[in-house]
Structure 1
Amino acid sequence: MQMMEYYFGLISVVAQSSENVLFLVKPILPIMLRIIAPVLGVVVIAAFAGNVMQVGLRFSTKPIQPDFSKINPNPVRFITKMLFSRQSVMNLGKSVFKIATISVVAFFLVKKDLFWIMKTMDMGVLQAFQLCLLLAFKLIMVVSGLLLILAIPDYFFQRREHTESLKMTRQELKEERKLLEGDPLLRARMRERQKSYAKRRMIQEVPKADVVITNPVHFAVALKYEPLRMGAPECVAKGQDLIAQRIKKIAEENDVSVVENKPLARELYKRVDIGDEVPEDLFTAVAEIIAFVYKLKQKEAVNV
């Protein structure tokens, strides 16, 4: 306090010139820095602690590494993105709200103490300085408390924005699905190729069948029975419409018996997959047909 009174007293008696101003300012600068340093230290520590509380203690050199991909060749798009993006608008709105709120609170505080501020003209330097210091301290405390209150919802908002920014967009999800599952067009081609291969393999098994049971137009099921290896007749090929006609044609070309039985052909096509054995409830009907085919082949062999 004595120092401030001394320097304010010097101002009134020292002639005003650039040399005298430097003479007055030079000695006081180190003292003012020592006074301000603790306050600045508290502010820096508080800012650092607040950042650690929000996102944790993270150190990365990535932000300072040169990245030429960040150079935007389109300045209009860059300015639009920086000024009119959702985040920029939200940050601007928050800043305007904070400034307006602090300004209103500071105005009413100063207005409330305006009488004492005006009285400083009638006080001594020490008393005026003490009063201004007290009023400034009160203003700083009120504004700090207000900023702390405003920081609470802002903290949750920033945390939510950070969480949302980590989520992938629909386009990113599509790209990741493509990477994990492959290109849909490629997968469709692979399925078609697999179907085509399975169909060719199935057709190749028709000449090995013992009998083909048909609808006769819509369905055809080729069955094979080896008593020593199979417990029941097995489906080696089946098809509908054009494939059914192709199975019939290949069977006739390879002397495989073709038997028409509409209900049995429909049931076999519906219930038996390729490589599966005939169900028990259809076994009798199928066994009768196979027995009939065997007898027919035996007669043909005798006649030959």
Structure 2
Amino acid sequence: MGEKTEKATPKKLRDARKKGQVAKSQDIPGAATFVASIGLLLAMSSFLFSQFQATCLFFWGKVSSPFFIENHYPYIFQSLYQILICSLPFAIGIATIGAIVNFLMVGPMFATEIFKFDIKKFDPVNNLKQKFKIRTLIELLKSTFKILVVFYICYKAWLEVSGMFPMLIAQPLIATFFLVYTFLWKVVVRAGVFFVAIAVADYLYQKRLFDKEMMMEKFELKQEFKNTEGDPELKSRRREIAREIAYGGGRRGVKGSKVVITNPTHIAIALAYERKKVPAPFVVAKGKGVEAEWIIFEAKKLEIPIVRNVPLAWSLYETGEMHEFIPLETYEAVAEVLKWVASLGGAEEEVEEELIDENLKGTEL
């Protein structure tokens, strides 16, 4: 198995997305909902406190002596219903924020392949291997670390307020509530900052890990290109891009070409290559006899490099199609020619290294 050195192509990323494989961190929604819940509690604190107080007064006002629970079921259910109604906006707000954060992190995604039946999902050996993956171990260590840090935050906050509790004996009840509130505030603010920091770090780590997992071998990259050659939609799109770059076909296509390859007089093939637009060179003009002479004439007039390479010229003429990528078997020779052309103007033209054959460096130019 070759080494994965190439970045993932858009097609591979799209295929992975269909399977639900994207760069994401479970800590991001968790941290966001934690911070949001604190914010909502603070924003709704007056409303929640008044409703809770009213519910308690209602219930205790209905309690009779002696107390028999069966006589108070209606009041208990009514009180619970009131608490549920008051909590509903809070719960909906938290759920909405969690959904929005997930959407912003991974974008719109409906991975249908997740729901497809796969017998491998029921393989106990495979499931056991998944559980003992390095990533699972890292997640376990991360969870343990978070628990320890939160425990330390609680302990530290308790040390800061515990000295005040003996003084509460001579203070009204409201002072106790205020001290408890101070303790909880210290804990949630510090824990919130910690969770956000962990979430950001985890997302960066997961993104890097995902990019590494999606990397491709050079052979895999070539194979994908070969497999997509027959796709009618991609073929149509390639022709459209080719026409846009070449400003037409035949002799006019020479205007947008990068190099003209000849044999040297009988045939001529003009190739275009815009690396930022297309993944490989393609034929924009080709001809034989008089047509070849015209292509060479236009190339000289436009100061486009002309390369004499008899085997390559014949190969491109016989197997290359207008406004189509060059045949796979000509990649290496064409890549070497393009490197030579780029060196003429001192340009730093990037050519895929796997297309260059060191044995072709003696080709007559």
> Taking structure 2 as the reference length, what is the TM-score of the superposition?
0.39
- By relative contact order (CA 8 Å, sep 6+), the higher-ranking structure is 2
User: Which structure would you say has the larger Rg?
Assistant: 1
> Taking structure 1 as the reference length, what is the TM-score of the superposition?
0.45
Q: Which has the higher helix share?
A: 1
